[in-house]
Chains A and B, each alone.
Chain A
Amino acid sequence: MNNIENSVILVVDDDHDIVNAIAALLEREGYSIRKAYNGLEAVDALMREDIQLILIDIMMPKMDGLSAMMKIRTMKNIPIIVLSAKSEDSDKILGLSMGADDYITKPYNPMELVARVQSNLRRYLSLGAADSVKKSSVLRIGGLSLDRDEKQVYIDGEPVKLTATEYKITELLMENAGRVFSAEEIYSRVWNEDSYSVENTVMVHIRHIREKIEINPGDPRYLKVVWGIGYKISRE
């Protein structure tokens, strides 16, 4: 069942209205929805049915999202997106490290929610095979990949249109994932010119790249600004 459109998504939240809203939203996109209202039901549903993606809240009665997630991870390899009102960095880190693939804070933007669901499904279903074929010319960080032969950047398998400068910046940052580059360094290495007051220029480019590769540019997943220091693409 590799068809993304026919994927079955399990929505878990103790708030029935939210479950219904998400269900309506995703059904509109053509997904089949299963509903659960606590962790136990979610685990039950997962045992009974074939489910491709889970949207799960953290704070729920009977069994909370984190416990349920740990249970699920012992059985299935499917993408799990946490949907929580907890917006702290520490909450996100906790959720992601407990086995979540993505973390969306409430109140979510419906468009973003759909985009993230699609992105996760694509990676799980379509790119799973591609993952095994490792090209040395391809740099890969999470859903972000860069093919140096094609000079092409993909986000969750979808090609992204970048200008030459933007591509060079992305390449530089991806080659040195995790390292923080100052604007001067980026400028001198990308433009091959001496830098002077280039912060603005570089920042503008970074912002453009972010707008293209990030689902939510305000809360970037890959290309991050280290305020007051520089820029980096974090190793996941």
Chain B
Amino acid sequence: MDERLKNIVLEHSDDIVKMWLEEVNAHKKNDYTSTISDEMFESTNREFVNVIFSSIEKQGLSSDLDNFSERLINLGWPLSYLTDGMQIFRRVVTDYILKQSDKIDSDYFSKVLRQVDGWVDPIINRLVNEYSGSWEHIVSLQRVALQELSAPLIPVMENITIMPLIGTIDTERAKLIMENLLDGVIKHNAEVVLIDITGVPVVDTMVAHHIIQAAEAVRLVGSRCILVGIRPEIAQTIVNLGIDLGKFPTKSSLRKGFQTALELTNRRIEDVQNNDEDIEQLIDSLDRE
């Protein structure tokens, strides 16, 4: 029985392919694939249907299928193209087999359905797994990438370190910030830490709370914390929210904060003596001789 159905399908593969292509093309008109060029669509369809037939023939999933799905993933074809294609294939093949046989009872009908499902479902499962696997992979890579740029601590000068924060701060990141901050303060032996929030889009009570806690923890290990990069609109919302940031110094820009940090560590920036003047003096003294 199984072999017989398989033979029907394989022998009439040309007819089935033709019907399938017609349906798929009709489907194309009003959906996502309409931006793809006709030749591309045509050749992909051909390849798709060949892959389907080869896996029916071999009674199992072939490496062709993996290669095919991998390429489509790389090209960015939507998954729905493949699932729609498989649904259409299921419909076309079932119709075709039923048309071939003269007597149809419910027993035969259910057998055909089961057989066709046996061909189609494993392919759909494999394709969906391949696609979702590739998405999961991307998401996990991005999570790692995000973590990497999460809360770096930069020692800019002896006793002074800077932690620039960029992007949204959630609970997980807040923990990371605190840990990195304290580790870094100890490791770099920092006297002053500048936390720069220029790149933080919104400072709500939670973010403020985390910053206050971090600053307090830094104070406990014997260093000082300066909050810099407070934009005017952020300053206004902080005041409206009634958040008290009075426990540690705050500055509008990293530059001002850095100057304060230098003052706190008893240093200042001085211009090196003007070179031109040096040379003029030298010439003057030579002239006099």
Do these two chains really belong together in a complex? no
